[in-house]
């Protein structure tokens, strides 16, 4: 097989990149090791930044999102039994976020790709990336019981942390920055209407808790638990009781209970691989970086990566200049490190470390008090949470 851009991975990054390239008249082939049902049902992020929303709309993938997604104009910080709302539009010049699950983004992009895009091969396992520094890198892959090779002008690895793309980078040219956290998130899905109409981030002496949602009738909630915790260690009643403790306030707010349909544990880590380009191989999304989920940045960073690559490739084809492709890694990493910083700040602001002292707890409360009392501090949080706009996203994401 032969194509201009070989894309490894049909998560939101790979699928969106294929869509952007198709609309720019550039052919691509997407290789996905899992089947379609798996891709459309794996639970991941659910918060889309303003820039991500704008890109999906401009790419023709926003119709169902706008119909079924939930626009949120703020979040609530809860600490010391108090409640403080951060008003995003008032602090950012009108920006907001959208609650729309990654599963739904993937369903929308898959439908578009199969309807009018280039080849999208499910159960096609990429085995390696070969000759990344040559003019025609190759991706050997296995599909339907036989092996084949995809020849490309460029390869973009959107295949996640455990994929093959990053392994093609020589060790001598790679730098890894990472941090593991001594806690994890116990996440639940519950068939009950959310108990608040916006996300609630709660700092409590017993640990962090987050109230989120997937729809007007399905709640998504999280509890901080020790690293290594197994989901089956927590009974449904114990989960609800602990959530009630951590969300407690001095007013009459109550947490509504409902039947749990899913329970899982998410480890917490920060990870960045530098550089994100090796020859004609480019990394995007979790293949290059991981953030703790507290800042809701993972999917949004992946979108920023593929928009940056698509614009750079269009620019190279239109002008003959490789300048933007050459700058890909540096351009992406500036945004990535700001997201890493914000995600780390939010995580350490709201979670209780196992070795935390009374001094540490007081500092957390002082930081939260500062956000609640200072418009400058509150604006910094709102700008980072809603995401800095991608230039041109409201028009042509490849412009």
Give mean pLDDT, residues 285-296.
Answer: 96
- Correct CATH for 5-73+97-178+268-353 of 3.40.50.410, 3.90.1150.10, 3.50.50.60, 3.20.20.210: 3.50.50.60
Q: pLDDT tens for residues 201-229?
A: 999 999 999 999 988 999 999 999 999 99
Task: Judge whether 263 counts as a catalytic residue.
Answer: no
Confidence tier at 396 by pLDDT (50, 70, 90): low
Which residue among the candidates 22, 289, 297, 351 is catalytic per the annotation?
Answer: 297
Pairing relationship of beta strands 281-283 and 154-157 according to DSSP bridges: parallel
Residue ranges of domains in the chain: 5-73+97-178+268-353
CA-wise closest residue to 74 among 47, 111, 54: 47
In this prediction, residue 195 carries a pLDDT of 97
Give the three-class secondary structure for 44.
coil
CA-wise closest residue to 45 among 149, 157, 177, 187: 187
Which residue among the candidates 293, 328, 351, 397 is catalytic per the annotation?
Answer: 293
Which residue among the candidates 100, 328, 385, 397 is catalytic per the annotation?
Answer: 385
CB 202, CB 221: distance < 8 Å: no
Give the three-class secondary structure for 112.
helix
Give mean pLDDT, residues 230-247.
Answer: 97
Which residue among the candidates 22, 72, 204, 278 is catalytic per the annotation?
Answer: 72
Confidence tier at 389 by pLDDT (50, 70, 90): low
Task: Judge whether 297 counts as a catalytic residue.
Answer: yes
> In which residue are the tokens 């609309």 written?
23
| pLDDT of 398 over the 80 cut | no
Which residue among the candidates 201, 222, 292, 397 is catalytic per the annotation?
Answer: 201
| pLDDT of 394 over the 90 cut | no
In this prediction, residue 390 carries a pLDDT of 73
Task: Judge whether 72 counts as a catalytic residue.
Answer: yes
Q: How far is CA 335 from CA 54, 93, 96, 193, in A?
A: 17, 20, 19, 35
Q: pLDDT tens for residues 41-66?
A: 887 778 999 999 999 999 999 999 99
Give mean pLDDT, residues 372-385.
Answer: 98
Average pLDDT over the chain, rounded to an integer: 95
> Could you give the CA distance from residue 12 to residue 24 in angstroms, rounded to a whole number?
18
Q: pLDDT tens for residues 355-375?
A: 999 999 999 999 999 999 999
CB 257, CB 240: distance < 8 Å: yes
| pLDDT of 257 over the 80 cut | yes
> Could you give the CA distance from residue 63 to residue 105 in angstroms, rounded to a whole number?
11
Confidence tier at 391 by pLDDT (50, 70, 90): low
What is this structure's pTM?
0.94
> Could you give the CA distance from residue 254 to residue 256 in angstroms, rounded to a whole number?
6
Q: pLDDT tens for residues 139-192?
A: 999 999 999 999 999 999 999 999 999 999 999 999 999 999 999 999 999 999
């Amino acid at each position: 097989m032969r194509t201009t851009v070989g894309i490894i991975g049909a998560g939101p990054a790979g699928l969106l990149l294929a869509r952007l390239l198709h609309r720019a008249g550039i052919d691509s082939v997407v290789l996905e090791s899992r089947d379609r049902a798996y891709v459309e049902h794996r639970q991941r992020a659910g918060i889309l930044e303003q820039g991500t929303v704008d890109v999906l709309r401009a790419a023709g993938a926003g119709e169902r999102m706008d119909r079924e997604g939930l626009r949120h104009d703020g979040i609530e910080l809860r600490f010391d039994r108090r409640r403080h709302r951060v008003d995003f539009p008032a602090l950012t010049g009108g920006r907001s976020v959208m609650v729309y699950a990654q599963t739904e983004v993937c369903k929308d992009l898959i439908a578009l790709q199969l309807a009018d895009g280039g080849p999208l091969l499910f159960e096609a396992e990429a085995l390696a990336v070969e000759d990344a520094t040559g003019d025609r890198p190759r991706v050997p892959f296995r599909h339907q019981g036989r092996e084949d090779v995809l020849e490309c002008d460029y390869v973009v690895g959107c295949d996640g942390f455990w994929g093959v793309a990053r392994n093609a980078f020589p060790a001598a040219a790679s730098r890894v920055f990472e941090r593991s956290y001594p806690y994890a998130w116990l996440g639940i899905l519950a068939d009950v209407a959310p108990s608040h109409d916006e996300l609630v981030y709660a700092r409590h002496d017993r640990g962090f808790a987050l109230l989120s949602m997937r729809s007007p009738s399905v709640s998504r909630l999280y509890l901080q638990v020790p690293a290594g915790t197994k989901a089956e260690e927590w009974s449904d009643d114990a989960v609800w009781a602990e959530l009630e403790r951590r969300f407690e306030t001095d007013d009459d707010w109550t947490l509504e209970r409902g039947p749990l349909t899913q329970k899982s544990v998410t480890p917490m880590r920060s990870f960045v691989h530098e550089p994100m380009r090796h020859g004609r191989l480019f990394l995007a999304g979790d293949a290059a970086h991981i953030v703790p989920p507290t800042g809701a940045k993972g999917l949004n960073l992946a979108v920023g990566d593929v928009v940056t690559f698509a614009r750079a490739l269009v620019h190279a084809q239109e002008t003959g200049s490789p300048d933007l492709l050459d700058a890909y890694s540096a351009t992406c990493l500036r945004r990535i490190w700001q997201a890493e910083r914000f995600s780390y700040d939010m995580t350490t602001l709201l979670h209780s470390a196992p070795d935390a002292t009374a001094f540490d707890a007081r500092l957390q409360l002082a930081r939260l008090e500062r956000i609640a009392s200072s418009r400058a501090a509150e604006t910094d949080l709102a700008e980072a949470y809603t995401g800095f706009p991608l230039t041109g996203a409201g028009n042509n994401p490849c412009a």
